[in-house]
C-alpha cells in the first residue's frame, strides 16, 4: 500500500464522499510508533503502538460474536484501571488460533513490557516497572492463520525505539494507515471542547472496510483524550455513544470476531473532578465524543469494500427505536437494494421489499418514502409528483439519502452503509492473496 502522504493531505477528492481529512496534532500523555513486521508481501507498516508513559484510563466495547479472537480474550482479562500501551497488528486476526495464539500475545506482552520498562529507566525521573498486564492488543486480518509471534517480536525493539512523544498530522496518518487491511483510505477525526473551563482534545482513528455489521462496534476504533476522566465514566460514555455511531453502520451484514472500539484518557489536563456521567460539565465532552465516533463510523461505511456510494438510511415516526433499527438494517443489508443503488437504478420496489421483511408492525396506508428530496411514496401510494428521470439523476450522486416514514409513532433511527459493486466480489474472492 504505497500512498504518498503529501498527495493524500493535499487532495480533497481522495475522500470526497466524506469531505477533507482533519489534521490531528499533539495529545499530551500519548506517544505513537509504527513499523513493518513484514506481515504483508509488499512493504508497509503493519504494527502500530500507542504508548502512555504515565498510564491512561481506558474503556472498550467488543464484538458480541460467540467466536472471539485471542486478543479480545486477552483484553477481557485485564482488570487494571490504567494501562500503558496498546499494540495493533494487521494481516492476522489471531482468531481461531487457540492456546498458541493466546500464548503468542503473552510472549509479545512480556517482551514489550521489558522494552518499555527499559525506556522508562532511561528517560523518566521516577521510572515505573511496566507489567505485561499493562498492555492491550488489537488484531485484524485473516481468521485462522497461525499468529506470527516471532515476526512481531523481532520488531518490538525497533517499535519502541521509534516512539515519538510529539505527534503531528504525518505521524497520525502513518498510524491510521498502519492499521488498515482492505481499506482504501485512512480514517481520522477530531474535536476540541471544554470540561468546565478546561479545553480538552478528542482524537480518533479507525479501520474497517469489510465484515462490518453492528453487534457492538463493527470495526477497530481508537479514541484518545487528554482529559481526566475515570475508566468507569469512560465506559459509560462509550457504551452510550456507540449505539448510534459504530452500531449504526453496516457494509455487508457480517460481524467480525475482532471488533473493538477503545477510548483512552491520559489525564494530562486537570479538569474538574467528574463523579458521574450525569455531571453537567461533561455535556460538551459527551457531544464532541459522539461527533468523533459518528465521523469515524461514517468514514468506515463510506470506505466499504468496493464502495462507490455512501448511503444514509433514516427511518422515523416508528412505535419503537428497535422497530426503526430493524427496518434500517433490513434495507442496509439487502443485496438487492445495494446493487440497485450501485447501478444507479431508483428501484424503490426493493425498498418496499426490505421494509416488509423487517417483521415490524406498520400501517401501509401511512407509509412514505423519499430519495433525497424526491417524494416516492406518500400515504401508502406512489406520489403524483414522482418523476422517474429525476430520481435516476439523483442516484448518480456519491451520497444517497433514503428516508422511510412510518407515521405511526415518534421514534427513529439512522443507519449508514454503502452500495454493493463488482469490486466487492473481486476484493473478497482474492482476500488472502
**What amino acid positions are annotated as catalytic residues?**
218
By the 10 Å C-beta count (0-12 exposed, 13-18 middle, 19+ buried), 76 is classed as: exposed
Could you give the 3-state DSSP secondary structure of residue 204? Answer: strand
Gap between the Cα atoms of 404 and 168, Å rounded: 43
Cβ-contact 322, 302 below 8 angstroms? no
Torsional class of 379: left (φ above 0), alpha (ψ -120 to 50), beta (otherwise): left
Alpha-carbon distance values, 71 to 76, 147, 169, 396 (Å): 9, 11, 28, 42
Phi, psi of 193 (to 5 degrees): -155, -175
* Alpha helical stretches, state H, 78-230: 98-123, 149-161, 169-178
Gap between the Cα atoms of 173 and 420, Å rounded: 28
Non-local CB neighbours of 179 within 8 Å, separated by 6+ positions: 48, 88, 90, 138, 140, 205, 207, 220
Torsional class of 407: left (φ above 0), alpha (ψ -120 to 50), beta (otherwise): left
Alpha-carbon distance values, 300 to 66, 155, 297, 378 (Å): 23, 29, 5, 32
Alpha-carbon distance values, 351 to 257, 348, 371, 402 (Å): 30, 5, 10, 9
Amino acid at each position: 500500500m504505497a500512498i504518498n502522504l503529501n498527495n493524500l493531505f493535499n487532495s480533497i477528492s481522495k475522500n470526497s464522499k466524506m469531505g477533507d481529512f482533519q489534521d490531528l496534532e499533539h495529545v499530551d500523555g500519548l506517544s505513537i510508533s509504527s513499523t513493518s513486521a513484514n506481515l504483508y508481501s509488499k512493504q508497509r507498516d503493519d504494527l502500530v503502538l500507542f504508548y502512555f508513559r504515565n498510564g491512561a484510563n481506558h474503556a472498550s466495547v467488543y464484538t458480541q460474536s460467540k467466536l472471539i479472537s485471542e486478543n479480545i480474550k486477552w483484553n477481557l482479562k485485564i482488570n487494571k484501571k490504567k494501562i500503558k500501551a496498546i499494540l495493533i497488528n494487521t494481516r492476522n486476526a489471531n482468531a481461531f488460533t487457540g492456546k498458541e495464539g493466546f500464548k503468542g500475545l503473552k510472549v509479545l506482552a512480556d517482551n514489550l513490557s521489558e522494552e518499555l520498562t527499559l525506556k522508562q529507566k532511561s528517560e523518566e525521573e521516577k521510572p515505573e516497572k511496566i507489567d505485561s498486564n499493562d498492555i492491550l492488543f488489537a488484531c485484524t486480518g485473516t481468521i485462522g492463520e497461525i499468529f506470527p509471534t516471532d515476526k512481531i517480536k523481532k520488531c518490538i525493539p525497533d517499535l519502541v525505539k521509534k516512539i515519538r512523544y510529539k505527534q503531528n498530522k504525518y505521524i497520525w496518518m502513518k498510524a491510521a494507515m498502519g492499521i488498515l487491511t482492505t481499506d482504501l483510505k485512512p480514517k481520522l477525526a477530531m474535536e476540541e471542547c471544554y470540561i468546565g473551563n478546561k479545553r480538552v482534545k478528542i482524537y480518533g482513528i479507525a479501520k474497517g472496510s469489510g465484515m462490518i455489521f453492528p453487534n457492538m462496534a463493527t470495526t477497530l476504533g481508537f479514541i484518545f483524550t487528554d482529559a481526566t476522566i475515570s475508566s468507569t465514566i469512560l465506559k459509560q460514555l462509550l457504551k452510550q455513544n456507540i449505539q448510534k455511531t459504530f452500531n449504526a453502520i453496516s457494509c455487508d451484514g457480517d460481524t467480525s470476531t475482532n471488533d473493538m472500539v477503545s477510548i483512552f484518557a491520559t489525564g494530562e489536563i486537570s479538569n474538574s473532578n467528574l463523579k458521574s456521567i450525569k455531571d453537567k460539565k461533561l455535556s460538551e465532552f459527551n457531544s464532541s465524543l459522539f461527533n468523533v465516533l459518528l465521523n469515524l463510523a461514517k468514514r468506515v461505511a463510506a470506505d466499504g469494500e468496493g464502495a462507490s456510494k455512501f448511503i444514509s438510511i433514516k427511518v422515523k415516526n416508528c412505535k419503537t427505536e428497535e422497530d426503526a433499527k430493524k427496518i434500517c438494517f433490513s434495507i442496509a443489508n439487502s443485496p438487492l437494494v445495494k446493487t440497485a443503488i450501485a447501478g444507479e437504478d431508483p428501484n424503490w420496489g426493493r425498498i418496499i421489499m426490505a421494509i416488509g421483511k423487517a417483521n415490524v408492525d406498520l400501517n401501509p396506508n401511512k407509509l412514505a418514502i423519499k430519495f433525497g428530496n424526491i417524494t416516492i411514496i406518500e400515504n401508502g401510494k406512489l406520489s403524483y409528483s414522482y418523476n422517474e428521470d429525476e430520481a435516476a439523476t439523483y442516484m448518480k450522486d456519491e451520497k444517497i439519502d433514503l428516508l422511510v416514514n412510518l407515521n405511526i409513532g415518534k421514534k427513529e433511527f439512522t443507519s449508514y452503509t454503502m452500495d454493493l459493486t463488482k469490486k466487492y466480489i473481486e476484493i473478497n474472492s482474492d482476500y488472502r492473496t
